[in-house]
Chains A and B, each alone.
Chain A
Amino acid sequence: MVTAAAPPATPAHPPSIGGEVASALLWRLATSHGLRVADWAVEAAEMGELPVAPDILVAVRGSVRDIAAGLSLGGSAYVELDDDGDLPGGLLPLLAGPPCLHISLSTATCFSLDLAPLLCGAMVARGWLSADRRADAEICLHEAISNAIVHGNLDIHQGPSADAGAFDGFFRAVQVRLADRDHARRRVTVEAVAAADMLCITIRDEGRGHAGRAPTAVEQLEAKSGRGIRIMVELADRVTFTEGGRAAHLHFRR
């Protein structure tokens, strides 16, 4: 006797998805991942005409307005779709767990946005981060995102530490790599998970990784770069690196 396989369990309220993208794309994503399609228009959101944001907001090109409006209306995820036009693999399991935020952007978009204040503002508003730790979290997140962009996805490992000329050369290298499609389209992903006693923010890139050591030598005081990890270690409650340095985890006690 042949018995039919049990259908996959369907949550009572599957996450919703929305975004100002082609409706066919939205419906394809909703159907393939078991999601509900929800209304979204950034202007309507800014005018207070939408009560809530979709759980997952998608865009072809990420924008500050979209992210800010989505976060302010309770959205959990913002995904700038890549060439495959699909959602990141780990997103749906993440949404099934404790309260979380997930932002996935191309390197080019992430470089053009000031993401850390937006995310930290949302985490304070949701009660995941106390107001008096916001400045610490913001600089740590900012440094981790900068590292993911520059040293991770743009594959620039030599910091501008020699002299002023080297500093200019470093920024030229950043611009050249940002103009290269293969580097510019790599993902930067930021995930924040609010557990009972700890907020953990994970920043992932698609570069070749690093050892994750903080420079400590006194002679590096005058170096023009290399302070990002030191700042994180000083201000976060715990900093760890996994995935060969491609994932930085910032922990803040709640």
Chain B
Amino acid sequence: MDYTVHTAADGLRVTLSGRMTLIDHEKFRNVVDAIEKAEGTVCIFDLTKLEFVDSSGLGMFLIARDVALPKKMEIELFGAQESVKRILQIAKFQTLFRVTP
């Protein structure tokens, strides 16, 4: 997995690409650190270039949520490809995150 983090007026934009699996924990820790330091009301994960996410990757999104919620920051999962979207649906992430097309 590769990632970029950009600060926006209302929060953060995180772009993920490639395959997000168990081995990406250390990289994702950097994303979580950025969320911890960020100001604003929303963190948008751009998933348009994310090709694959496994159950460990789902757990990482939940960690991001745990860090963002106490800061009153919402996590949005944007633009997931069909195969990624299916995994988000199986995990019922639409009940935990704002999931947008």
**What residues of A have a CB within 8 angstroms of the CB of B66 in the complex?**
163-164
**Do A146 and B56 touch (CB < 8 A)?**
yes
A146-B55 contact in complex given A114-B19, A139-B87, C-beta closer than 8 Å: yes
User: Is the C-beta of B96 less than 8 angstroms from some C-beta in chain A?
Assistant: yes
**Do A135 and B59 touch (CB < 8 A)?**
no
A224-B87 contact in complex given A143-B54, A164-B67, A168-B29, C-beta closer than 8 Å: no
User: Is the C-beta of A124 less than 8 angstroms from some C-beta in chain B?
Assistant: no
Interface range on chain A: under 10, 10 to 19, 20 to 34, or 35 or more? 20 to 34
User: Is the C-beta of B83 less than 8 angstroms from some C-beta in chain A?
Assistant: yes
A231-B90 contact in complex given A164-B32, A225-B56, C-beta closer than 8 Å: yes
Q: In chain B, what residue has the closest Cβ to A163? A: B66
User: Is the C-beta of B91 less than 8 angstroms from some C-beta in chain A?
Assistant: yes
- Max count, chain B CB within 10 A of own CB: residue among A111, A224, A235: A224
Task: Encode A103-116 as 1/0 by CB contact (under 8 A) with B.
Answer: 00000000100100
User: Is the C-beta of B8 less than 8 angstroms from some C-beta in chain A?
Assistant: no
**What residues of B have a CB within 8 angstroms of the CB of A228 in the complex?**
54-55
Tell me what chain B mostly uses at the interface: helix, strand, loop, or mixed.
Answer: helix
- Max count, chain A CB within 10 A of own CB: residue among B63, B65, B67: B63
Min CB distance, B59 to chain A, in Å?
4
- Interface residues in A202-221 by Cβ distance below 8 A to B read 221
User: Is the C-beta of B15 less than 8 angstroms from some C-beta in chain A?
Assistant: no
A150 and B54 alpha carbons, distance in the complex (Å):
14
A138 and B19 alpha carbons, distance in the complex (Å):
12
- Cβ-neighbour of B63 out of A117, A150, A164, A174 (below 8 A): A164
User: Is the C-beta of B45 less than 8 angstroms from some C-beta in chain A?
Assistant: no
**What residues of B have a CB within 8 angstroms of the CB of A226 in the complex?**
55
Task: Encode B3-46 as 1/0 by CB contact (under 8 A) with A.
Answer: 00000000000000001011101100100100000000000000
**Do A139 and B96 touch (CB < 8 A)?**
no
**Do B22 and A225 touch (CB < 8 A)?**
no
**Do B92 and A142 touch (CB < 8 A)?**
no
**Do A160 and B29 touch (CB < 8 A)?**
no
**Do B87 and A231 touch (CB < 8 A)?**
yes
- Interface residues in A233-248 by Cβ distance below 8 A to B read 234-235
User: Is the C-beta of B58 less than 8 angstroms from some C-beta in chain A?
Assistant: yes
A181 and B56 alpha carbons, distance in the complex (Å):
24
A139-B63 contact in complex given A114-B19, A168-B29, A227-B91, C-beta closer than 8 Å: no
**Do B96 and A221 touch (CB < 8 A)?**
yes
**What residues of A have a CB within 8 angstroms of the CB of B58 in the complex?**
227
- Cβ-neighbour of B55 out of A164, A168, A221, A225 (below 8 A): A225
**What residues of B have a CB within 8 angstroms of the CB of A174 in the complex?**
22
**Do A146 and B96 touch (CB < 8 A)?**
no
A111 and B26 alpha carbons, distance in the complex (Å):
15
**Do A231 and B55 touch (CB < 8 A)?**
yes
User: Is the C-beta of A167 less than 8 angstroms from some C-beta in chain B?
Assistant: yes
A163 and B62 alpha carbons, distance in the complex (Å):
9
- Cβ-neighbour of B83 out of A114, A135, A167, A230 (below 8 A): A135
A171 and B67 alpha carbons, distance in the complex (Å):
18
What are 6 A-B interface contacts by the 8 Å CB criterion?
A: A139-B83, A174-B22, A222-B65, A227-B58, A231-B55, A235-B90
